[in-house]
Structures are given as C-alpha cells and as structure tokens.
C-alpha cells in the first residue's frame, strides 16, 4: 500500500459509550488504584486498536461531539431530548479517552455547534474525492455517507466484528442508495434522536415508499398512487416530514480547520503510549499496541 492513503475516521463517542456499557452492566467498574473509573477508556483502546489492525490505515482521525447543543437543537428543541444524562462514572472518562488518543499521535476533532457525525461527514466527502476512507461507528445514520471511496464499518457485537458497507452492499442488503437512507429516516423518524417523522409511518412502510417512489419528492409528487390512509398521514405531517429529513441529514460542510496531512499520518510513539498506559494502569493492553505497525505512505 506504499504511496496509497487510507483514512480511518473513528466515531469516538459511539465507541466510548459502547465500551462503557459493555462492561458496566455487571455493576463492577474498572478503576485505577486511586479510584478513577477507566472501564470505558480501557474498552475504547481495545476497539480502537482492533479497527487499526483490521483496516490498516495510513492516517487516523478521531471525531467527538462537543456538547448537547448543536444547530439541530436550534431547529428542533426536542432533538435528542429523551437521552438520559451520562453515567457519573463515565463523565471523567470523556477527557481521559482524548488524552489516550493523543498519546497515539492521533488528532481529536470536534466542533462546537456540530455533532461528530458532521465532522466525519465533512472529512469523508473531502478526503473521499482522492483517497480511501473507512468510518468506524455503531451508528447506522452514517450509511448515508457511503460512496465509491467511502465505506462505513458498522460495529457489531464483540470486538473485531464489523459489517463493511459499500454502495453495492447497502443496495443489496437494504435496497437503498445512501441518499435514500436520509429519506427513509425523514418518513419514519428516529426514536433514538427523538424526532418523529410522519406520525403512523414505521420502518417497513418508509422503506416501501422510498423504494417505490425513489425519494420524498417522488413520493409527494405521486400521492394519488398511495392508499388514502397513508396519503392523509403524510399530508397531515408535511412540516415534520421536511424537518425530520433535515435533522437526519449529516452536514458535510462543517467549518473544520485544515488538517495537516502529517498530523494525522498514522505513527506510533511507544514511549508516549506506555507512559499513558502506566498512568491508567493499562499494563494488559501494552501487548496489543506492540502488535501495531504503522504503514509507510
């Protein structure tokens, strides 16, 4: 792969939460000898290292949410309003995990007013014009970013278990193009993000309508071809349909600072990593990192 770039975009918050809840359900939280909770960070490292081993990137970038207030909460006050507060033991790990990422000489990217999704979308669109991009996440909303050179690796249960989405695989599995992923969400809404879509239209109907009419515009232009019941639901909820589609759309023009290519070139400073691992008492993870070998560009 000499001379060829492959960027790994890591959905930091999604992986940290996954790592935290994968271990905290037992009620036993891993802590340092001084009592600092580190179970989420410890699990994050295992996922992070596995993704690097699996996809062999030349460049790595980790993206983060920067708070609960974004341009979407301005558009719809209840956006993600149903989400509980982060567990108390997870809160101190938000900063710790970024320190660990920095110890790998990987940049942490986040932007006030935007979600990590928007940062990843902006980077994917820009970098995917010339280079291979793999996005590692557990968030199926990211499938709208799939393109010829941009693939989305959805994390499944267990470390090292991914489903890699290309445009063809997305079409084969779901009968959708990346753009249609947005339109389906506009119709059915998203309970996790707390926007309703069209009241009374669920996932099965949303898929059927978009597959039949190609897009929301195609559907609205042919409402005479759908059942009176569905037509009434859509006509009664047009404003929310358009708003839900807007909320579902990843913003791919976030005002990110230019990234120095050298800054996100994947390298490894074992002394720096070992120092951080010693501080967090992650001795068992040193062997994992010792197996990593950066790829020359």
pLDDT, tens digit, 9 for 90 and up, residues 54-72: 999 999 999 999 877 777 7
Give the predicted TM-score (pTM) of the model: 0.92
pLDDT of 262 above 60: no
- Letter string b/e over residues 38-52, b meaning 16 or more CB atoms within 10 A of that residue's CB: bbbbbbbbbbbbbbb
Other CB atoms within 10 Å distance of the CB of residue 129: 11
Q: What are the tens digits of pLDDT across the range 239-257?
A: 999 999 999 999 999 999 8
- How many Å is the Cα radius of gyration of the chain? 21
- C-alpha angle with apex 154: 149 to 134, nearest 5 degrees? 25
* Among candidate residues 270, 289, 293, the one with its CA nearest the CA of residue 49: 289
Strand order in the sheet with 132-137: 108-109, 59-63, 6-11, 132-137, 150-155, 162-165
pLDDT of 43 above 80: yes
Sign of CA dihedral 166, 170, 172, 176: negative
Identify the weakest region by mean pLDDT among 42-51, 125-134, 254-263, 277-286.
254-263
pLDDT band at 279 (very low <50, low <70, confident <90, very high): very high
- pLDDT above 70: percentage of residues in the chain: 93
- pLDDT above 90: percentage of residues in the chain: 74
pLDDT band at 40 (very low <50, low <70, confident <90, very high): very high
Q: What are the tens digits of pLDDT across the range 113-168?
A: 999 999 999 999 999 999 999 999 999 999 999 999 999 999 998 889 999 999 99
**pLDDT at residue 149, as a whole number:** 97
Find all residues with CB under 8 Å of 23, minimum gap 6, and list them.
Answer: 29, 30, 39, 40, 42, 43
Rounded to an integer, the average pLDDT of 84-111 is: 92
List domains and CATH numbers for the chain: 6-170+250-290 (3.40.50.1010), 174-248 (1.10.150.20)
Average pLDDT, the chain: 90
**pLDDT at residue 73, as a whole number:** 72
pLDDT of 82 above 70: no
Q: What are the tens digits of pLDDT across the range 187-239?
A: 999 888 777 899 999 999 999 999 999 999 999 999 999 999 999 999 999 99
């Amino acid at each position: 792969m000499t001379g060829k770039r492959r960027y790994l975009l890591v959905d930091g918050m999604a992986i940290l939460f996954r790592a935290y809840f994968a271990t905290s359900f037992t009620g036993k939280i891993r802590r340092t000898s001084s009592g600092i909770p580190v179970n989420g960070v410890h699990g994050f490292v295992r996922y992070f290292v596995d993704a690097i081993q699996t996809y062999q990137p030349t460049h790595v970038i980790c993206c983060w949410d920067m708070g609960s207030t974004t341009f979407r909460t301005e558009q719809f006050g209840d956006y993600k309003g149903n989400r509980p507060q982060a567990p108390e033991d997870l809160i101190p790990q938000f900063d710790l995990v970024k320190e660990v990422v920095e110890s790998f000489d990987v940049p942490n990217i986040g932007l006030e007013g935007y979600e990590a999704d928007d940062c990843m979308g902006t980077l994917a669109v820009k970098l995917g014009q010339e280079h291979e991009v793999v996005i590692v996440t557990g968030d199926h909303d990211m499938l709208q970013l799939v393109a010829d050179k941009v693939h989305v690796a959805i994390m499944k249960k267990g470390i090292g278990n991914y489903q890699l989405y290309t445009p063809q695989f997305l079409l084969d599995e779901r009968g959708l193009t990346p753009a249609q992923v947005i339109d389906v969400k506009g119709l059915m809404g998203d309970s996790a993000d707390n926007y309703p879509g069209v009241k009374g239209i669920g996932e099965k109907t949303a898929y059927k309508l978009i597959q039949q009419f190609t897009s929301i515009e195609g559907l609205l232009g042919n409402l005479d071809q759908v059942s009176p019941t569905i037509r009434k639901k859509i006509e009664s909820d047009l404003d929310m349909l358009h708003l839900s589609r807007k909320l579902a759309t990843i913003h791919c023009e976030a005002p990110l600072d230019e990234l120095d290519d050298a800054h996100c070139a994947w390298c490894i400073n074992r002394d720096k990593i070992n120092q951080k691992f010693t501080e967090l008492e992650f001795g068992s993870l040193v062997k994992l990192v010792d197996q990593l070998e950066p790829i020359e560009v």
